Amino acid sequence: MGDLETTREKTEWTWGTQTFVVENAAISAGEDTCAMLLDASVVPLLPRTLQSPPLGPNPPAFFVADAGTKGAGMFAARDIPAGALILVDRPVAVVPSNVASPWKREAFDALLPRLSQISRGRLLALANCKPLSEFPLVEGIALTNASQISLPVPPTATPQEYGGVFPDISRANHSCGLDITVKWDLVSFSASLYALRPIRAGEEIFNQYIDVLAPHADRRTQLARYGFTCMCVHCDLPDAAAVARSDAARTELRDWRHLHPRFLPWSLDACRSDDTIIVSNRRALALIEQEGLYGMQVPFMEEIALSYAVMGDESRFCEWAQKVVDLCVGQDPQRAAEFAGWIADPKSYKRWGWRAKQKLILDQQKDPADLDISIPW
Nearest approach, Cβ of residue 293 and Zn ion (Å): 12
- Pick the binder of Zn ion from 27, 110, 111, 232 (CB under 5 A): 232
Strand order across the 147-149 sheet: 12-15, 18-26, 33-39, 93-96, 162-165, 147-149
Stretches 85-93, 222-230, 262-270, 351-359: which one binds Zn ion (CB under 5 A)? 222-230
> What distance in Å separates the CA atoms of residue 93 and residue 147, rounded to the nearest whole number?
11
Considering the complex, what minimum distance in angstroms separates the CB of residue 244 from Zn ion? 16
Q: Which is nearer to Zn ion, 201 or 231 (CB)?
A: 231
Q: Which of 186, 235, 237, 243 binds Zn ion (CB under 5 A)?
A: 235
Nearest one of 66, 94, 89 to 6, comparing CA atoms: 94
Q: Does 43 bind Zn ion (CB under 5 A)?
A: no
Beta pairing, strands 204-207 & 72-76? antiparallel
At position 137, the amino acid (one-letter code) is: L
Q: Which residues contact 277 (CB under 8 A, 6 or more apart)?
A: 261, 263, 266, 267, 303, 304, 307
Please state the closest distance from residue 223 (CB atom) to Zn ion, in A.
7
Q: How far is the CB of 224 from Zn ion (least distance, A)?
A: 13
Query: Whole-angstrom Cα distance, residue 32 to residue 117?
Result: 9
DSSP strand pairing (204-207 vs 49-50): unpaired
- CA distance linking residue 291 with residue 177, whole number of Å: 7
Closest distance between Zn ion and the C-beta of residue 177, in Å? 8
Which region among 27-35, 38-46, 192-200, 230-238 touches Zn ion (by CB under 5 A)?
Answer: 230-238
Chosen residue from 61, 230, 278, 318 binding Zn ion by CB under 5 A: 230
Check residue 278 for interaction with Zn ion (CB under 5 A): no
Q: Does 212 bind Zn ion (CB under 5 A)?
A: no
Residues 85-104 that bind Zn ion (CB under 5 A): none
Stretch of residues binding Zn ion (CB under 5 A), selected from 100-108, 169-177, 200-208, 354-362: 169-177
Name the segment binding Zn ion (CB under 5 A); options: 113-121, 174-182, 289-297, 356-364: 174-182
Q: Is 178 in the site for Zn ion (CB under 5 A)?
A: no
Least separation, in Å, of the C-beta of 168 and Zn ion?
22
Name the residue nearer to Zn ion (CB basis): 61 or 249.
249
> Can you tell me the distance from the alpha carbon of 150 to that of 341, in angstroms, rounded to the nearest whole number?
31
Q: ∠216-219-221 over CA atoms, to 5°?
A: 115
Q: What letters, b where the CB count within 10 A reaches 16 and e where it falls short, cover 62-76?
A: beeeebeebebbbbb
Q: Which is nearer to Zn ion, 89 or 179 (CB)?
A: 179
Question: What single string gives the DSSP state of each residue in 246-288?
Answer: HHHHHHHHHTHHHHS--HHHHHH-TTS-TTHHHHHHHHHHHHH
176 binds Zn ion (CB under 5 A): yes
Instruction: Choose between 150 and 229: whose C-beta lies nearer to Zn ion.
Output: 229
Question: In angstroms, what is the minimal distance from the CB of 331 to Zn ion?
Answer: 23
Indicate the residue among 104 and 197 with the shorter CB distance to Zn ion: 197
Do residues 151 and 187 touch, judged by C-beta distance below 8 A? no
| Residues near Zn ion (CB under 5 A) | 176, 230, 232, 234-235
